[in-house]
Amino acid sequence: MKTREDCERLDEVDPLATVREQFVLKEGEIYLDGNSLGPVSRDVVTRVNDVITHEWAEGLVRSWNDAGWMDMPLRLGDQLAPLIGAGPGEVLVADTLTFLLAKLIGGALELRPDRHVIVTDAANFHSDLYIVEAMAARAGRAVKVKAIDRDQLSGALNDDVALVMLTQVDFRTGEALDLAGITAAVHDVGALMLWDFAHSTGAVPLDVEAAGVDFAAGCGYKYLNGGPGAPAFLYVRRVWQGVITNPLPGWLGHARPFDFEATYEAARGIRAFVTSSPSIVALAALEGALSVWEHATMAQVRAKSLALTDLFIELVDERLPGVFSVVTPREHARRGSQVALAHPEAYGVVQALLARGVVGDFRAPDIARFGFTPLYLRFVDVYDAVEHLVAVMSDSSYRDPKFAVRRAVT
């Protein structure tokens, strides 16, 4: 069994150990919820202050030109692109994830006008299911959404499928799907592939270029640490740019926004997916957050993520045998960067841990979910978190009625 000293030794040789210093973390707290909302980093504070005190306060409206505000959605897209294996000009940062999925679903449906089915995962994030149903209903032709068990995907693929939309890492279980294999199978029947990378970007290595992905979108506030409600990003493969249309056109996606023309003409390239004025302060926060990637590679992050999640699973197995069922796949290739433990009283477990300064979250109906962000977590944090878990299970504090009160955000 691994000891705390073993974990200290792992931290000593961790190539990412110093990256933790970039983050503002609460002393004594173990933050295992970066898969929901990443913590703030020092560069975020600096960059946001700079935007407010200089670019906004002093520059005012001039900053749209002088501070390059108009290009921020593209500039940040280029900054983020390497994290998903995309090239320059293929990623745009804007809106929030559900809106970007709507744009990509609407646009993709028009590229397969003779097909009538969108396949998705019945266990997909609920917002994805709502928006895909809504876009299908507004497609201008009969389009049916088939929400299937993801293991039945190959049986659902045929020449009536226009689009397959899947979330690459399951938000509940942390299962990671085979990006390249599924994309290839979808292309084999002539359909298009749209991936939701909410729980993947910054957590698992992605190569949209090699996998032949058509479209993808993800959010900025989880493993990218861009702040609550941070702007999201979308990826449109270069071959589709100028071919796919943005179903939610707006003035800043126009080829000449300041000509104020009554008729819409899409801008060239990824800019065509811009609709509205970019949210500059929020973009500045994300820009600051992305600078942490100057100190870490995805390969380092993945290696440490697997080591942290392996350690957590191993300690839970050894110290709490039979208490939880580990829902997250144990195979590395099928694991994201979180571990989900099923327990009938998972809500109370998460609350009791919270009271001890270990922050995870609960996902109905019975999942205690723990995210492991290698940029700021240490091996000793994992060890200590399991110590706390053992304590709340042994003294049954998770059954305390005060921990049963459901709050709005779980």
Ligand X SMILES: Cc1ncc(COP(=O)(O)O)c(C=O)c1O
Residues engaged in binding ligand X (CB under 6 A)? 96-98, 125, 127-128, 167, 171, 196, 198-199, 219, 232
User: How are beta strands 338-342 and 358-359 bridged, if at all?
Assistant: unpaired
Omega prior to 329 cis, within 30 of 0: no
> Is 219 in contact with 96 (CB distance < 8 Å)?
yes
Q: How far is the CB of 409 from ligand X (least distance, A)?
A: 11
> Residue 125 or residue 312: which is nearer to ligand X going by CB?
125
Catalytic site residue 196? Answer: yes
Q: Where are the alpha helices (DSSP H) in 196-249?
A: 208-211
Q: How far is the CB of 114 from ligand X (least distance, A)?
A: 29
43, 128, 170, 196: the active-site residue: 196
> Is 383 in contact with 4 (CB distance < 8 Å)?
yes
CA distance 210 to 245: 24
Q: How far is the CB of 63 from ligand X (least distance, A)?
A: 26
> Residue 87 or residue 329: which is nearer to ligand X going by CB?
329
Q: For the stretch 140-177, what's the b/e string if a residue is b when 16 or more beta carbons lie within 10 angstroms of its beta carbon?
A: eeebebebbebeebeebbeeebbbbbbbbbbbbbbbbb
Catalytic site residue 20? Answer: no
Q: How far is the CB of 98 from ligand X (least distance, A)?
A: 3
> Residue 98 or residue 410: which is nearer to ligand X going by CB?
98
> Residue 172 or residue 356: which is nearer to ligand X going by CB?
172
How far is residue 275 from each of residues 17, 30, 164, 252, 253, measured CA to CA in Å?
40, 39, 24, 6, 5
Catalytic site residue 356? Answer: no
> Residue 167 or residue 173: which is nearer to ligand X going by CB?
167
Q: How far is the CB of 221 from ligand X (least distance, A)?
A: 7
31, 125, 215, 235: the active-site residue: 125
> Residue 222 or residue 237: which is nearer to ligand X going by CB?
222
Place of tokens 């005012």: 60
The DSSP output letter for 169 is B
Q: How far is the CB of 368 from ligand X (least distance, A)?
A: 17
3-state secondary structure 102-123: HHHHHHHHHHCCCCCEEEEECC
CA distance 157 to 175: 21
The distance of Cα 7 from the centroid of its chain, to the nearest Å, equals 28
SS3 content of the chain, % helix, strand, coil (to 5): 45, 15, 40
The DSSP output letter for 267 is P
> What's the alpha-carbon Rg for the chain, to the nearest Å?
22
CA distance 243 to 385: 50
Q: How far is the CB of 376 from ligand X (least distance, A)?
A: 20
Catalytic site residue 221? Answer: yes
> Residue 246 or residue 338: which is nearer to ligand X going by CB?
338
> Residue 127 or residue 241: which is nearer to ligand X going by CB?
127
DSSP per position, 29-64: -EE--TTTSPPPBHHHHHHHHHIIIIIITTTGGGHH
Name the phi and psi angles at 361, rounded to 5. Answer: -145, 175
Q: Which of 264, 238, 225 is nearest to 81 (CA)?
A: 238
23, 31, 221, 403: the active-site residue: 221
Q: How far is the CB of 203 from ligand X (least distance, A)?
A: 12
78, 369, 378, 403: the active-site residue: 369
Catalytic site residue 222? Answer: yes
Q: Could you give the residue numbers annotated as active site?
A: 125, 196, 221-222, 369
